[in-house]
Amino acid sequence: MTDFKIILEITKTHLLSRFKQSSIAALGVTFGIGTFIVLVSFMTGLNNMLDGLTLNRTPHIHIYNEIKPSEVQPIDRSEEYKNSYNVIRSIKPKRSQERIHNALPLMAVLTKDNRVKGITSQVAAKVFYISGSIELNGVVNGINVADEVKLFNFGDYIIKGSPENLLRNSNGILLGAGLADKMSLSVGDRLQLSSVNGGVFPLKVVGIFQSGLADIDNIQSYVNLKTAQEFLGEGSNYISDINVKLWDIDKAFLFSKEISKQHQVTAIDIKTANAQFETGTTIRNLITYSVSITLLIVAGFGIYNILNMLIYEKMNDIAILKATGFSGNDVKLIFISQALIIGLIGGLLGLIFGLFISILIDHTPFETQALPTIKTFPVNFKILYYVIGIIFALVSTFLAGYLPARRAQSIDPVDVIRGQ
Amino acid sequence: MSTIIEANNINKYFRKPMLFHVLKDISFNINKGEFVSIMGKSGCGKSTLLYILSTMDTDYEGELILGGQKLTGKSGNELSKVRNEKIGFVFQFHYLLPEFSVLQNVMLPARKLGRKSYNEIEKDAMKSLSLLGIGDQAKKKASMISGGEKQRAAIARALINDPKIIMGDEPTGNLDSKNSDNVFNIFRQLSSELGISLLMVTHDQDFAKNTDRIIEMEDGHIIG
Ligand SMILES: Nc1ncnc2c1ncn2[C@@H]1O[C@H](COP(=O)(O)OP(=O)(O)OP(=O)(O)O)[C@@H](O)[C@H]1O
Ligand SMILES: [Mg+2]
């Protein structure tokens, strides 16, 4: 084995003697890798933010009682028509309550299950908001505010006041931002809720929340669980929704099936409820990688070109090296290491460049009505992307250098010497 | 006297642009310490023969033996090693790597061989350069020195691994008569004092006259 130091020395001399071209080749790699880092950090930052937006406030499993027609109709039970093809038109669901049947025992079972991180219970009621002469319809949810803050980051969406205010004030209400706007209400003001069956409840605004989704902010508000139950004239066993957060989100699907089968309730897991999010994430990743690979291919062609040119210029050197006993392999190694050094330097600069731009983006203000918790553009700083980046740089420059190096390996010194 | 190089019935053809029989049944020996010159008209095949003897050209028929070792049929990597260790080569043009110093150029084959330490190699190289009268140019870049100096640096490089034989293709071809004499004397010294065999292609009658033996070529044959 040849002393690798001579190979590197020759490599270095070649690169330095063509400093401008080598730098331009390295800059191509820098640009490719830098763009990759910026894109992937920004895109995944965006992904995480959007996913987080959903994941934070979406229960992994949502349990409720869906009102739907009975699956088994009386005629299906009849022996006489058992072998017939029965068609029934205009099936209507039976009138039943919106509450979850036996909610308290179900909650006890769920709390004990070791897959469950925590549960919250809610009471939903349709209401009219009355303030002065304005009457708006909407939905009020009775919640256990401490649990909601703990499990679903409820506090992030309160833009005025605080969730604790609701805890302290049993007649308090957290109003959706859209509602507050329409009724010109602010923290400390009063309004009345009227239920569908006519009862009227006076409440005090203790906070304003903004979810980022106008459809929700225009109709939704939150009160204490007990307040909502009283409002509906029901007891403490009246629960309309149970939200479950699991330790492992991937177990949600099977677990939801299990719950709905064992407890005769409707249980929907997060993936089924939000199928579009996975697709969005995949597509954004796809864009990131394809743009980066395209840039690296362009950079690779640059390196390929420059090495080819260099080999043409260094034909005499190659012939001399071969005549004095360097093997074809040595010569190949010289040019491959040139490519790799261009890749390494260009790649490292690319990482630094990418990191710098990422930090810049991370500090760029980005405030939007829709995302009250976000103050700057989201960037995901993850060491893995930097590792992938440098591997990318080395692999692509190796591939770009391989063909020219092979050509150098097979140059016949006799042809070169005779050509003089 | 022991034979250093032995060529047996060497035939060489060029196939492009048409079939051309360049070397016809070439056979000869060179002994240890012998100083041999090859002469002949332009185009008779001297360079072609030298490329075969120096193992750079492997596309021939016949047999080539160096120091008792058969070289014909060896792989490219093995032949590189043989060239590195046992053969010194002096070209007519483009002698050195232009971006390296003269000293680095001379040291290169020894560093490839890796038999001695860097410092020993450096000392040997300096000694050769001084012997050839260009010790003071050692640190200069190879592209900065004159043609005659380059030629001598190339000879120093050919010497660095103590080869069995040094081959040259018109090594004094573009030197003035003073430098040419100088180089000739160095060769003479190498063969008599160090016992290195020399095989030099030349057009210079005076140069050839003073060597131990002249191989005369014509039309791909050896005629004397
Ligand atoms: N690659 C090649 N393809 C075809 N013919 C070649 C090739 N190289 C050399 N020849 C021919 O082979 C013959 C011998 O060439 P060579 O270079 O060995 O001559 P030479 O004796 O060294 O001549 P000179 O004294 O001018 O250097 C010439 O006629 C030349 O035209
Ligand atoms: Mg010739």
Q: pLDDT digits over A304-322, tens only?
A: 887 788 888 888 889 999 9
- Which pLDDT belongs to residue A269? 86
A357/A235 same-domain check: no
User: Which of A213, A238, A272 is the last residue in one of the domains?
Assistant: A272
Q: Measure B169 CA to ligand 2 centroid, in angstroms.
A: 7
Q: What is the pLDDT of residues B41-89, one digit of tens each?
A: 999 999 999 999 999 999 999 999 999 999 999 999 999 999 999 999 9
User: Which of A227, A253, A272 is the last residue in one of the domains?
Assistant: A272
- Which pLDDT belongs to residue B101? 94
What's the Cα-to-Cα distance from A207 to each of A163, A186, A204, B8, rounded to whole Å?
7, 8, 9, 105
Most confident of the ranges A26-40, B109-123, B161-175: B109-123
Å from B6 to nearest chain A CA? 20
**Total count of domains within chain A:** 2
In a domain, A97, yes or no: yes
Q: What is the pLDDT of residues A183-216, one digit of tens each?
A: 888 888 898 888 877 778 899 999 998 887 788 8
User: Are the beta carbons of A13 and B108 separated by less than 8 Å?
Assistant: no
CA of B53, nearest ligand number: 1
Residue A389 lies in domain: 4-56+277-419
User: Which of A247, A272, A297 is the last residue in one of the domains?
Assistant: A272
**B-contacting residues in A 313-352 (Cβ below 8 Å):** 316-317, 319-330
- Which pLDDT belongs to residue B126? 95
pLDDT band with cut points at 50, 70 and 90 for residue A4:
confident
- Which pLDDT belongs to residue A357? 94
Q: Which of A81-95, A334-348, B78-92, B147-161 has the lowest mean pLDDT?
A: A81-95
Instruction: Kindly report the number of other CB atoms within 10 A of residue B25's CB atom.
Output: 14
pLDDT band with cut points at 50, 70 and 90 for residue B100:
very high
Whether B165 has a pLDDT exceeding 90, the answer reads yes
- Which pLDDT belongs to residue B142? 92
Q: What is the mean pLDDT of residues A387-405?
A: 89
A334/A292 same-domain check: yes
Whether B108 has a pLDDT exceeding 90, the answer reads yes
pLDDT band with cut points at 50, 70 and 90 for residue B135:
very high
**Residues of chain A with C-beta less than 8 angstroms from the C-beta of B112:** 2-3, 6, 324-326, 330
A145/A170 same-domain check: yes
pLDDT band with cut points at 50, 70 and 90 for residue B119:
very high
A115/A10 same-domain check: no
Q: Which residue has the higher pLDDT, B31 or A377?
A: B31
Q: What percent of chain A has pLDDT over 70?
A: 95
A342/A212 same-domain check: no
In a domain, A193, yes or no: yes
The pair of structure tokens assigned to A28 is 């191509």
- Which pLDDT belongs to residue A43? 84
- Domains of chain B with CATH codes: 34-58+83-218 (3.40.50.300)
A288/A237 same-domain check: no
A102/A235 same-domain check: yes
**B-contacting residues in A 358-417 (Cβ below 8 Å):** 412-414, 417
Strands B61-66 and B69-70, sheet pairing: antiparallel
Q: Which of A362-376, B22-36, B200-214 has the lowest mean pLDDT?
A: A362-376
In a domain, A257, yes or no: yes
